[in-house]
Structures are given as C-alpha cells and as structure tokens.
Amino acid sequence: MTDARQPAIIAMGLCKSFGEVKVLVDVDLSVPEGTVFALLGPNGAGKTTVVRILSTLISADAGTASVAGHDVVRDSDGVRTTIGVTGQFSALDELLTGEENLRLMADLNHLGPAAGRSRVSELLDRFELAEAARRPVATYSGGMKRRLDLAMTLVGTPTVIFLDEPTTGLDPRSRRMMWTIIRDLVAGGVTIFLTTQYLEEANQLAQRVAVLDQGKLVAEGSPDELKRRIPGAHVQLQFAQPQDLESAARLLGTGSQDSARLTLHIPTSGEVSSLRRLLDQIDDARIVASQVSIHTPDLDDVFFAVTGHSASKDGAST
Amino acid sequence: MTTLALTATDSATLLRRNLRRLIRYPSMTVQLVVLPVLMLFLFVFVFGNQLGHGLGVPLAGSHTSRAGYLNYVVPGILLLTIAAAVQGTAIVVAMDMTGGIIDRFRTMGIARAAFLTSHVLASLTQVLTSIVVVLGVSFALGFRSTANPLGWLAAIGVLLLFAFGLIWLATALGLAAKSVETASNTPIFIVLLVFLGSGFVPASTMPEGIRQFASWQPFTPVTETIRGLLTGTHLGANAIAAISWSVCIAIVSYLWAAHLYKTRQPR
C-alpha cells in the first residue's frame, strides 16, 4: 500500500546518547499526513526520546528530522506552531480548574476572548469535562486528567499531534474513550504519532507500526503486514481420547501433537472454507474432537519474533 | 504581532496564571510574610529593650529603648521580608521546572522570555504586598518615619530594585535545583545575609572578620539606604552602593537564569 500524501513527519538517522548510554541508534521514520503512526516498544526502548526530539524538546546527536515541513532544529518555532504534545507525565496546572487550564492555553494561542471562550466550552463538552470544569484539577481522576491534558493540546488546533503513552495506567473505559477521540482526530485530517507499550492499542489505531527495541527500529509495517511476517496461525483441536488424537494426526498428516494434553495444532490460513474442510475431514473419518479453537498471531507474537523477548519486559525508563 | 508585543502578551497571560496560583495556594505566601512579622515581634518585644539600650541612640523622638530599637530594626525586617519572599520564587520556579507543564510551554509557540518574565513579575507583586503588610504591622507597633512622600517613594524604589535582583537570583537557583526540596533550601543563605549585615545591629559592633564581611556585603548598604531614607540617618555613599549592587545582582543572575532556562533539560 503506497500513500501519495506528503509525509507529516520525516526522520533520518536519528542518534541520541545520554552519557555512555546509546538511547537511539540510526532511527529512520516517515509518517504520512492524516494517519496514525504507532511507535511500539517496552519501557526504556527510547520511545519518549524520539517524541522529545521530534517535538523540539531535545536535540539529536546526529540525523535530521522535520515535522510538517519544518526542520526541528533550524525552524523549531515553525514546528511548535503546528504541533501538539501530550506527554507521559501530566502537563496540567493542578492548582487551576479544568476551565482555567484550557483558558490558559487559549490565551497562549492568542485566540482572543470570544473565540477562546467558545473553543474552551466546546472542548469541555467533547471531553465530558463540563461538569468538573470549575473544580481544581488536583481533584480529577487519572482518566479525567488525561482527557484534560489532551484537550489542552487541542486548543490550538494542531495538525500533528504527539501522544506519548496516552493510555498507560487508564482503566478500560477511559482507554476506549481515548481511542475514540484519537479516531475522530484522524478523521478530521490530523496526523498522530503515538507511542505505546500496548500491542492491542497499536493494532486498533495505527495504519503503520514501528517496533523500537533498545534504541533500534527492528520492524516496521502495517499491523497486518507485521502479523503476516511471522508464522503462528493455527487451529487447535482438543480430543477426549488418545486414540482419536492418533487417528486425527495420521489422517491429516500435518501439524504437531501434544500427547499429554491431547491436542493437535494444525497450521491454517484462517479462512472459513479451510476450517470447514478440516472439520469435515475429521467428521467423515468418525473421529471425535471435543473442542476447536483458532489462534491468530497478535502483535505480541510479532514483538517476540522481532526482538527475541516479550513486550512486557521491564527496563529503565528514558 | 511583533516579538515584543508577543512577549508582553504571553508574559501577561502567564503572570495571571502565576498570581492565580499564589492565591490558590496561599499557605506558602502567608508563611513567607509571617516569618518577618514574627521576627519583628521577637526582636522588638523580646530583645528590643536591651538591644535599643545597647545601641545607645534614642532615635527620632522615641521615649524608650524599645521604641528606639523598633525604628532601627524596621529596615532590617523589610529586607528579611524580601529574602523570605524570594525563597518562594525559587520554589515556584522549581515546581514548574520539575512538573510536566514546562514541557507543554516549551513545545508551544509562546514567546521565549515569557516564562521567566512572568515568574519575576509575580514575585515582585508578592514582594510588594509583603512589604506593605510588614510596614502596616510596623506602624501599628509604633514605627515612625521622618520621610516625606518623595523619600518613601525612593525607599520603596530601592527595596523593589534590590528585590528585583534577588528574584532573578532565586529564579536561577530554582532553575538549577533538581527538586523542589533543593530549591527551598538553597536560598536560605540570602536570609542569613540579612543577619550578617546591619539589619539588626550595626556592623561596627560585630567581631573581627564578620565585621569586614558585613560592611562589604550588599545587604548593609541597602539596609543603611532604607534606614537613611525612612528614619533620617546619614546616607553617605550607601545609596550608590545599594543601587550598584542591585543592578549587578540583577544582570548576573538574569544571564545565569537565561542560560539555565535555555540549556537545562527538565527532569
């Protein structure tokens, strides 16, 4: 799948070290306009460092990057007027109310009093914060703070938005809500650069996913492309009797059997017709299988395959 | 908008935010005003009689040693007020720098100087308020000034100019601090300088070594200038020294703060 649209974010050969520690090694990225790009990796992989370089907070030791056509070093002011950043740590003023926080952003974006007021009330409604608008942010729940944080980022209607682990620590309902908001933004033409440790999140939201591990990009593609790159889709048949397992294995002539658990794994393309054929074959031979389940590879399998360890591995946070 | 207009607009916006924060979280401000007021009571009512007696100069129409000492010590208390208030500056700057909001400000297209300018202006407002409160208490206790309105204006001007320098210094200390705790401790030496100057007793009465230090450090000429302007003591070269010190502290601290703000990575 090619995309003719202009890339909103381009990075080439980004390197960054903190002291002796190499945090990023030769990272190349390209994010087409109006898409969601997910940078996936465990803690300490360097995801936040990428966001901080692209959002002009720190500079890379080597390599170049531009956002919306502005070079992040030579035209950092140009970048800042087009981007919105919601970091991993809440960037709110806890002593102010939700409404005051948003008004602060409206004023700093020079919206003017009338436009500022209407933008603020629109965002309060959209993010279900209208009821809590006059309460100090210190009294907000984690999910509310995260929503307000994102709402503050949106006051200036940025065209490229960086979200650094936007749903880490959120309950399932708040996470769903965040996903809906992100989808709405993309539908409105905004480009989103997302970092996450959750493979499911990347799968749900992103057109393209890059896997970052120990500062290096180890895989890139659409979630489907990545999943196709690794074997692993199979049907699992569960038997009640060992002789049924034996006969099924003989009949099908393929797959791996687990005699202790009485299961047989048969590789599959995942198509319905092939599954039906398989079950018909067993049925015709009068073999009794008690249960059937289908396993398709998820991004966890991808992660394991490309990095050699699972995504939940803990490392030092950067 | 021009850069200057943009800086002014953004500074005003952030100043409103900083003042609102001071009102929302008044305990720190109150604490910073209560300290000099307590010191005033302590020095006037507990030590005042003996200290006033020791000074041996019944000042400007006062009937007792205690009242004489009150008139002597008010300039020192005013400088203590400033020294205490700038501790708050270091704390609020460090709070912003160690929190997430500084990243938001930095990634927005806001005027570069606005962040520091707004903190300095908020602190100046706070210092002015504290000075008014402390002066009010002093008058209530019987402080009497010989100054005319022009003298008062000059005294407030000198206090604010000196405060301006110390606020920039505290801003730099707040930027340099790795945590809010550090930021609340490092400016304590400023408070100490009030006592090691001529705020509470004349520098000439201090032991060898400290006496030289006291007469050369900036708080002494500033104290003597305020004392001269408010209670009519001899000014001498103190005013020039006070203004020079204030301007020097402001320039050096501003350069340090601007450098730290540009180069320091939050967290």
Render pLDDT for A209-231 as a digit per residue (tens, 0 to 9). 999 988 999 888 888 887 777 66
For residue A302, is it within any domain?
no
Give the model confidence (pLDDT) of A88-121 as tens digits: 888 999 999 999 999 999 999 999 999 999 999 9
For residue A94, is it within any domain?
yes
pLDDT > 80? residue A204: yes
Task: Give the residue with greater pLDDT, A160 vs B112.
Answer: A160
Instruction: Select the residue from B16, B108, B115, B117 to test the A interface by mutation, using most A Cβ atoms within 10 A.
Output: B108
Task: Give the residue with greater pLDDT, A303 vs A78.
Answer: A78
Task: Give the residue with greater pLDDT, A304 vs B197.
Answer: B197
Domain ranges of chain B: 3-263
Residue A77 has a CB neighbour count (10 Å cut-off) of 11
Residues A116, A248 within the same domain: no
Residues A73, A165 within the same domain: yes
**pLDDT mean over B42-53:** 85
Task: Give the residue with greater pLDDT, A162 vs B99.
Answer: A162
What is the structure's pLDDT at B25?
84
Q: What residue in B sits closest to A94 (Cα-Cα)?
A: B21
Question: Do residue A95 and residue B25 have CB atoms under 8 angstroms apart?
Answer: yes
Instruction: Select the residue from A77, A96, A104 to test the B interface by mutation, using most B Cβ atoms within 10 A.
Output: A104
Residues A224, A248 within the same domain: no
Pick the last residue of a domain from A228, A250, A271: A228
Question: Do residue A55 and residue B21 have CB atoms under 8 angstroms apart?
Answer: no
B105 contacts: CB under 8 Å, gap ≥ 6: A108, B115
Question: Do residue A108 and residue B108 have CB atoms under 8 angstroms apart?
Answer: yes
CA distance A189 to chain B (A): 20
Task: Give the residue with greater pLDDT, B60 vs A147.
Answer: A147
Residues A179, A279 within the same domain: no
CATH code (residue A177): 3.40.50.300
Residues A173, A267 within the same domain: no
For residue A307, is it within any domain?
no
Q: What residue in A sits closest to B100 (Cα-Cα)?
A: A91
Instruction: Specify the residue for token string 């005042």.
Output: B48
For residue A308, is it within any domain?
no
Looking at chain B, the whole-number percentage of residues with pLDDT higher than 70 is 96
Looking at chain A, the whole-number percentage of residues with pLDDT higher than 90 is 51
Instruction: Select the residue from B6, B14, B104 to test the A interface by mutation, using most A Cβ atoms within 10 A.
Output: B104
Question: Do residue A80 and residue B108 have CB atoms under 8 angstroms apart?
Answer: yes
Bridge partners of residue A11, in order along the sequence: A29, A65
**Which among A120, A118, A95, A124 has a CA at the least distance from the CA of A105?**
A120
Question: Do residue B101 and residue A109 have CB atoms under 8 angstroms apart?
Answer: no
**pLDDT mean over A287-309:** 77
Number of separate domains in chain A: 2
Give the model confidence (pLDDT) of B2-42 as tens digits: 888 989 999 999 999 999 999 888 888 888 889 999 999 99
pLDDT > 90? residue A254: no
- Model-level pTM greater than 0.80? yes
The b/e string for B30-41 (b: 16+ C-beta within 10 A; e otherwise) is eebbebbbebbe
Give the model confidence (pLDDT) of A155-201 as tens digits: 999 999 999 998 888 888 888 988 999 999 999 999 999 999 888 88
Pick the last residue of a domain from A202, A228, A254: A228
Question: Do residue A87 and residue B103 have CB atoms under 8 angstroms apart?
Answer: yes
Question: Do residue B10 and residue A108 have CB atoms under 8 angstroms apart?
Answer: yes
What is the structure's pLDDT at A317?
39
Residue B218 has a CB neighbour count (10 Å cut-off) of 20
pLDDT band at A2, cuts 50/70/90?
very low
Domain range for residue A78? 7-228
Residues A213, A246 within the same domain: no
Phi and psi torsions of B144, nearest 5°:
-125, 130
pLDDT > 50? residue A3: no
For residue A87, is it within any domain?
yes
Residues A149, A243 within the same domain: no
Give the model confidence (pLDDT) of B157-188 as tens digits: 999 999 999 999 999 999 999 999 999 999 99
Give the model confidence (pLDDT) of B206-247 as tens digits: 899 899 999 889 999 999 999 999 998 888 889 999 999 999
Query: How far apart are the C-alpha atoms of B176 and B94, rounded to whole Å?
Result: 8
Q: Which of A20-29, B63-72, B92-101 has the lowest mean pLDDT?
A: B63-72
pLDDT band at B73, cuts 50/70/90?
very high
What dihedral do alpha carbons B106, B108, B110, B116 form, nearest 10°?
-20
pLDDT > 60? residue B57: no
Computed over its alpha carbons, how large is the radius of gyration of chain B? Answer: 19
pLDDT > 50? residue A313: no
For residue A304, is it within any domain?
no
Q: ipTM of the predicted structure? A: 0.86
For residue A243, is it within any domain?
yes
pLDDT > 90? residue A152: yes
